[in-house]
Structure formats: structure tokens, C-alpha cells
Amino acid sequence: MSQSASSNPAAAPAEGHAPHKSYLTDGTTVRSWLLSVDHKRIAIMYLVLILLAFLVGGIFALLVRIEHLSPGPTIMDAMTYNRVFTLHGVVMVFLFLVPAVPSIFGNFLLPIMVGAKDVAFPRLNLLSLYLWIFGAGLALWGMINGGADTGWTFYTPYSTTTTTTVAPILVGVFILGMGGILTGLNFIVTVHTMRAPGITWFKLPLFVWASYGTAVVQVLATPVIGLVVLLTAADNTFHIGLFDPARGGDPVLFQHLFWFYSHPAVYIMVLPAFGIISEVVSAFSRKNIFGYRMIAYSTLGIAFVGFFVWGHHMFVSGESTLDAGIFSVITMLVGVFTAIKVFNWVGTVYGGAVDFKTPFAYFCGFLFFVVFGGMTGTALGVVSLDVHWHDTYFVVAHFHFIMVGAAMMAFLAGLHYWFPKMFGRMYHEGWGLTGATLITLGFIVTFVPQFLAGNYGMPRRYYEYPEQYQALNVISTLGALMLFTGFFTILCYLIYALRHGKLATSNPWDSHGYEWRTASPPTTHNFDGPQPFFPEEPHLYTTKPAPEAQHAV
Amino acid sequence: MHRRISDIRPLFVAALLVATAASALPGGASAPRELTEEATRPPALRGVDVEEHLGEQVPLDLALTDEEGRAVTLGQLLPGNTPVVLTLVYYRCPMLCNLVLNGLVRSMRDVGMTLGEGYRAVTVSIDPLDTPLKSQQRRRHHLQALGMPERAPWSFLTGPDEQVKRLADAVGFRYTYDASTQQYAHPAVAMVLTPEGKVSRYLYGADFPQRDLRLALIEAGQGKVGTSFERVILSCFKYDPATKRYGFYIFGFLRLGALVVFGALATLLGVSWWREFKKGSVA
């Protein structure tokens, strides 16, 4: 950290300090970034890296869609196709979706939202960034040197016998998981121990609740995937025979272990997204959040129930009827908790003075996608329907509605909502709405045809398909191109705004969220002077705000 | 539990040793066993087998003779607090018995438990012509090889045919006498008994990995021998009836890992929430 001491003490304020610099300009060397323990700088580094990963995953997705323009071979051979869709899945899940919201927005905002000057363990935070870089590097290296053709689920026994290089990718996933666990631990301890005076649990911003719930899931579930990928890598390399039935192993055990992590992982992706939406919907409806406690409790409810639904991925893996029925019913409970949130968000908008800015546009898209994705998910949770839809494009469309439709829209909503907070500049609102429109429409055009194709019986992961599905696939690919245009638009105007955007005031949305009570961009220590005191509840809009908060001394 | 396994022919001990090494991993070599089905064996080896009588009580009232020539019952030799390694051999045996006992001695040297403290050993001759004098010689020989004093509790017993047969039937040890060679044909096995004299584990072959012996003793000791940490280890290694070995037991490993992770997180959250409630900040 560089010094903020002024060269002219006489000009300094009474405390003997120069005006505090923003975290962006406090130290400009490469070293001051790479070795920074400031949670905001770490978040910005995550932002850049994770967006790069998203770009890679997006290009792979586009390649898959282009390949499906014609029923037969289009631009690549079958093996390349297998590798490409595997890499798309691995990159998007492990490098983008799982870390995106916690590592970027969680890191940046959680300490500010609880009135702290950093997370509880800043060095551990930096370590988790480097674990991400190392894990991602290893996984990408494996993908470039041979790639994997197993799909992102790495199902055994194929993944233990394939000749492609799955082992480095699996070890990469393991290392990424360690970074995730450290981030989760950091958040849990930060929320418990670093809250400013006056912030009780039910005065926490809902994004903090969501991050806390996510952190618990992450710490509990990630060791399982860590273990299972290590065992699979060992099985693949040394042929131990843990999951390979030819050597006395049990492939179904792999599925249990894999989904025991990977289903809660869906909630690692969407719970923080729900948190962003709770913030955005309240800020742009100019209204108190409706049912604050219900939203907080339903977060914990999803986090808890999410651990007991993994079996719904295995209805066709020889599960007993009783087990399948139990998993099916518990799966419905996730729908109940999600519906509680949806109704509360709608209740928040109802009667509000909606300020239809870009983040709100993403909220609208989000609401549609999460309901649509959630309803199809509940349908897939019914055993008899799942047997029909299993491993078809219906499933692909469903989880893209949740993972892209919900998580990605919320990510973009958060990115636009907090862009002035992070960089102190405004993007162009008109372009923002254009981007949101392109993304929302592009998404619908991409994935609705996939629901139809899947329902008509088009299997997922296949290189070729019967001609009858071509029209739907062409529409889907056009939608993907539209999505790509949308992302490219966003990239352009955001990068432009970084340098040339209008300077933002400290609270451009006039939001009442705790994070807006400091400068935008914040100073290195987030709050100048003593630790702040927030007397109001968060998301408080409709009653007249209390007079200017007094600093507790 | 009655599980038939085939015999290992004395002449193929060398082959067995190779197979032992190959089957050290779970799921290893179980195929060769299928080839030696009862019907395909030479007549001399029919009826040579181990029928696993896990959990069966050995008769404690068996009247046998110890190496000093004293009449003892088997019950007197079971002290009730340590597991017992039982072997059935005969003293003029040209090959296999020595291999079994020498293998056992090697393993006992490395097992990390002292004979007499962690466990005891009993060897019974299946040949009614064997005498206490021969018992004595054998005992000296093996205790010397083990580096233990004369008073170490490893009994070598002889006894009349019908008494030994009762014991062999109780543990499922099936052997025959081949009149043409005047030799006994018998399986190569060591049995681990619980302190009360119930059959707990069979260890096959002439080469007992010390890990297998140690885990078998700890398992048979029912918490009375070994460290608590080893009982934790035992949950990661499970006797695999297909390979007749203690193999890495993935469920046990997972269960332990899950307990550790869950315990650690529960402690963290428990302490954190307890503090929050004490502060009164949950409102």
C-alpha cells in the first residue's frame, strides 16, 4: 500500500491526513495491484480474469452453436465437438459461474455493506485469487494440450479411461475449489465479526445474507467435489479402480458424490444472484424490500434443502422408486423457497416508483427467466417427466435458463448497478438499455427453441442430429449470435465508460443501500474516520429517512 | 457367514506369492481363484478348503497338550483381554506349514504390537502323531526367530485326532491325509480370534502384510488393543472378501472426511452464532 501522507502538512485536514485517495489511484504500480490485499482491488482483478474466462467459455458456446447449424458436420469433426462442449461447460461452471458473484461483487461489496474496512482475512483473500489463477491456468493448459471429451460432469467410467487429458483439468478444478472454500470462510468470518456497530443480523443488506448462505454451502460442498475430482484424476492416471467397474469400482458412487456437490453448486451460482436482485429491485422501485425476513430465511432454506436433492440427477441411474420419490418431493421444496423470493420481489415492485434503468431492465429479464427456468426445473423434478426429458436439450435449456437466465442476468444487473461504485464513472444509459434488450431477446431466441427440440427428443451432447431439428437449431444459433452481439455491445460501452464516462456522484442511483454511504469509488479503507454507524434498516425508502447519520464516537 | 474359498496347493506356493503381490490393491487379482474350482482339482486336494465361520465360537473345553506336556483346555489359553492368532499346522510338514509360520513370524515382528501385550498366538498340530517334544522344538525355533523370550505366550499344542477335528470344524479349516505321500493337505491360513474366542478374520497365504495383520488384530480386539487413531484408520480400510485383503475403503474414507468437514464448519458456525446471541445482535 502506498502512503497517502501529503507533502504539505499545513494543507491537510485537522486529523493530519490528506484527503483519502480512491482505491483505484492509491498506488499505481503493477506490484501495488498484484500484491494488494485490498478487497476492492482483488475484486477488480477477479472481474478482469473472470470476464476473460467468460469470453473463452462464450467463444466455445458459439462454436457449439455454429456446429449445429447443419445436421451433419459443419465446421469441426466429432472429437473436436466433444472437446468444445466439454470446455464450454468446464469454463462456464468452474471458472465463471461459481466464482463470479462471490469473488467479484462479494469481495468488493460485502465488507463495505457491513461497514468494515476489509474482509476478515485479507491475505487469505489474495491467496484465493492466486489459487483461482493457478487452478484456471492448469485447467486451461489441460484443455489446450489435449482437452477433455467427457462433458463437464466427468462421468465415470468414461473419464477414468478416456485418452484425453482430463487429469490436469480435474486437478485444476480441485485448486479452484480450494480458492472458493477460502473465500467462503472469509465471508462467514467477516459477516460474523466485522459488522459495524448497529448492524444486527436483520439489518444486514440482503446481498450479505445471500453471500453468507452461499459461503456456508461453498465451505460444506466444495470439499466433496475436491475429493471426487482428485479420486477421478488418480483413477484416470494410476488406474486404481475406485470408479471403474472393470477394476471393481463403482461408477454410481461417482455420480452421487459429483451431484452432492454439483447440485448445491447451482445454489452457489444463483443465491448470490438472488442477493443482487434483492438489492437492485429495492433501489430501482424506490421502495422498501417486501418481506425482508422471508427473503433472508428462504436464502437459508434453499441453502439447506439444496443439499438433499442431488438424487434428482440420477433418476435413470438405477435409483429405487422410493428414493426417487423422496428426491422429487424435496426438489419441489426448492421451488417453494424460490417462489417466496419471486413473490417478494414482485411485491416490492408493486406500488413502487420504478426508475427503469439498465439494472432494472435486467431484473425484468431475470424475473421471467427464473420463473420459467424454475417451473421447468420443478417439472424435471417429477420422475415420470424426467425419464422422458433426461439427457435431451430440454435439460440443457432448463439449466441455461437458471444459470444464464437467472445468474447471468443478475450478474449483469449487478455489474451495471455497481459500475459507478467500482469505477466512479457512468456508462451510457441508452446503450445500457440496448445491451439489456439484446441480451434478453437473444437469450429467449437461443434457449426457447432448445426446450422444443428437447421435448421432441433431440439428445444433448450429440455431434449430429436428425434433419427434423434443423429449423430449431438454426433459430437457436441466431439467438446465440444475438447474445454475442449483446455482450460485445456491453463490453464496448463499459470499456469506453471506464475512461470517458461521465464522472459519477457518490450515489448516482440515490440508493439507500449501505454501500452507497461512502465515496464512489471508495477510498482504500472504505470509510474515512471512525467505523460508520448505520442507524436505519437497509432498503428503507418509503418512510422519510432519518436525519443525516451521526458518526458514533 | 459361510464362504467357501479354494485351497492353495502346496506345490503352487510360489505362484501364490506372486498372486498375493498382485492382489494388494482392491479389485486386484481375484480371477485365478476361479480357475481352481473343487472339481478341477487333483483328488488329493479335494476336501481341502476354508469355510469361513466368521463370528463362530471355538470350543473352549478342548482337551489338548501343551509344549510342556501339561493337559490344558483351549479356554485356559484365551486370556479374555487380547485377540489371538490361531494357526493349524503339523510339525513334520515339509513346506507349507513352515512358510505359513515363518510368514506369520515376519509379520509379527513388524506388526508394532508385542506378543503377549497386544495379542497372543496359539498353534495346534493337526497330526495326532506329533508330540509335546516336537511342540517344544517348534516353539523355540519360532520364538527365537521372533526374538522373544521363552515365556512369551505362544502356545504350541498337540492333541488327539477327534479334539483337533472339533477345532478345525469350528473354524472351517478342512484338511485331508494323503496316504500315498503320508502328508496332510491343508490350506494356508491364519485365523484371528477375538479375546472371547470367536473367529474374527481369516488371513490367507503364506505372506501376511503387517497392515492386514495389524488391522485384523485391532478389529478382533474390539477396541481393547491398538490406538484410537488406528480404529479411525480401520474405518478407511475394510476387509474385502473378493481379494481377501484389507483394502482402501472409500465409503469409510468419505464418511470420515465428511465428519471432519462438517464438524469443522459446525464448530465455526456454532461458536460464531453463540457469540452473536450473547451480544444480542440477532434481532
pLDDT in tens, A27-77: 889 999 999 999 999 999 999 999 999 999 999 999 999 999 999 999 999
Residues of B whose CB is below 8 A from A241: 25-27
- Do B272 and A249 lie within an 8 Å CB cutoff? no
- Do A248 and B268 lie within an 8 Å CB cutoff? no
Task: Pick the range with the lowest mean pLDDT from A539-553, B40-54, B135-149.
Answer: A539-553
Is the separation of the CB atoms in B169 and B184 below 8 Å?
A: no
Instruction: Give the CATH fold of the A38-517 domain.
Output: Cytochrome C Oxidase; Chain A (1.20.210)
Q: For testing the chain A interface, which of B261, B271, B276 should be mutated: the one with the most A CBs within 10 Å?
A: B261
- DSSP E strands in A5-67: the ranges are none
Task: Report whether pLDDT(A181) > 50.
Answer: yes
More confident residue, A441 or B226: A441
Positive or negative, the Cα torsion across A497, A498, A504, A509?
A: positive
Calculate the alpha carbon distances from A70 to A64, A395, A469, A470, A475 in Å.
11, 21, 9, 6, 12
Give the position of cell 490406538: B227
pLDDT at residue A417, rounded to an integer: 96
What CATH number is given to the structural domain containing B206?
A: 3.40.30.10
pLDDT one-digit tens code per residue, B246-275: 666 777 777 888 888 899 999 999 999 999
pLDDT at residue B35, rounded to an integer: 42
Residues of A whose CB is below 8 A from B262: 220
Task: Report whether pLDDT(A184) > 60.
Answer: yes
CA distance A90 to A96: 9
Report phi then psi at A529, rounded to 5. Answer: 80, -160
Count of beta carbons in the 10 Å neighbourhood of residue A481:
15
pLDDT at residue A178, rounded to an integer: 94
Task: Pick the range with the lowest mean pLDDT from B34-38, B144-148, B190-194.
Answer: B34-38
Task: Report whether pLDDT(A281) > 50.
Answer: yes
**Could you tell me which of A107, A231, A119, A227 has the C-alpha nearest to residue A178?**
A227
% of chain A at pLDDT higher than 90? 75
Q: Report, as an integer, the average pLDDT of A431-453.
A: 96
More confident residue, B145 or B27: B145
Task: Pick the range with the lowest mean pLDDT from A7-11, B77-81, B86-90.
Answer: A7-11
Q: Find the length of chain B.
A: 283
- Do A201 and B268 lie within an 8 Å CB cutoff? no
pLDDT at residue B44, rounded to an integer: 56
Residues of A whose CB is below 8 A from B249: none
Is the separation of the CB atoms in B153 and B120 below 8 Å?
A: yes
Task: Report whether pLDDT(B207) > 90.
Answer: no
% of chain A at pLDDT higher than 70? 95
Task: Report whether pLDDT(A12) > 50.
Answer: no
List b or e across B183-216, with b for residues whose CB sees 16 or more CB atoms inside 10 angstroms: bbbbbbbbbbbbbbbebbbbbbbbbbbebbbbbb
pLDDT one-digit tens code per residue, A108-122: 999 999 999 899 999
B12 pLDDT band, cuts 50/70/90, is: very low
- Do B26 and A241 lie within an 8 Å CB cutoff? yes
- Do A200 and B281 lie within an 8 Å CB cutoff? yes
pLDDT at residue B7, rounded to an integer: 42
Longest dimension (CA), chain A: 80
Is the separation of the CB atoms in A102 and A219 below 8 Å?
A: no
Task: Report whether pLDDT(A552) > 80.
Answer: no
Q: Report, as an integer, the average pLDDT of A234-249.
A: 83
The alpha-carbon gap from A82 to the nearest alpha carbon of chain B, in Å, equals 31
B282 shares contact with chain A (CB less than 8 Å): yes
- Do A223 and B268 lie within an 8 Å CB cutoff? no
The answer for residues whose C-beta is within 8 angstroms of residue A144's C-beta and 6 or more apart is none
pLDDT at residue B46, rounded to an integer: 65
B8 pLDDT band, cuts 50/70/90, is: very low
Q: Report, as an integer, the average pLDDT of A454-461.
A: 93
Is residue B257 included in any domain, yes or no? no
pLDDT at residue B113, rounded to an integer: 84
Identify any residues that bridge with A319 across adjacent strands, giving them in sequence order: none
More confident residue, A9 or A191: A191
pLDDT at residue B18, rounded to an integer: 38
Closest partner CB to B27 (pick from A188, A216, A241): A241
Q: Report, as an integer, the average pLDDT of A73-98.
A: 94
- Do B269 and A188 lie within an 8 Å CB cutoff? yes
What average pLDDT does chain A have?
Answer: 90
pLDDT at residue B231, rounded to an integer: 63
Is the separation of the CB atoms in A407 and A270 below 8 Å?
A: yes
A219 shares contact with chain B (CB less than 8 Å): yes
More confident residue, A336 or B32: A336
- Provide the domain count of chain B: 1
Calculate the alpha carbon distances from B96 to A354, A382, B92, B134, B164 in Å.
90, 62, 11, 17, 19
Task: Report whether pLDDT(B117) > 60.
Answer: yes
Q: Are strands B154-157 and B120-125 parallel, antiparallel or unpaired?
A: parallel
pLDDT at residue B107, rounded to an integer: 87
Is residue B236 included in any domain, yes or no? no
Q: For testing the chain A interface, which of B25, B33, B275 should be mutated: the one with the most A CBs within 10 Å?
A: B25
pLDDT at residue A536, rounded to an integer: 78
pLDDT at residue B221, rounded to an integer: 82
Is residue B50 included in any domain, yes or no? yes
- Do B254 and A192 lie within an 8 Å CB cutoff? no
- Do B282 and A202 lie within an 8 Å CB cutoff? yes
- DSSP E strands in chain B: the ranges are 2-6, 49-53, 63-65, 71-73, 84-89, 120-125, 154-157, 173-174, 176-178, 183-185, 189-193, 199-204, 237-240, 245-248
B22 shares contact with chain A (CB less than 8 Å): no
CA distance A360 to A490: 16
Q: Report, as an integer, the average pLDDT of B149-156.
A: 87
Highest mean pLDDT range out of A249-253, A333-337, B140-144?
A: A333-337
pLDDT at residue A540, rounded to an integer: 83
B223 pLDDT band, cuts 50/70/90, is: low
A69 shares contact with chain B (CB less than 8 Å): no
Is residue B283 included in any domain, yes or no? no
B28 pLDDT band, cuts 50/70/90, is: very low
Task: State which residues form the domain around B50.
Answer: 2-225
Task: Report whether pLDDT(A481) > 60.
Answer: yes
Cα A220–A326–A379 angle (5° rounding)? Answer: 95
The alpha-carbon gap from A345 to the nearest alpha carbon of chain B, in Å, equals 23
Identify any residues that bridge with B245 across adjacent strands, giving them in sequence order: B240
pLDDT at residue A53, rounded to an integer: 96
More confident residue, A69 or B128: A69
Positive or negative, the Cα torsion across A319, A323, A325, A327?
A: negative
**Could you tell me if the ipTM is greater than 0.90?**
no
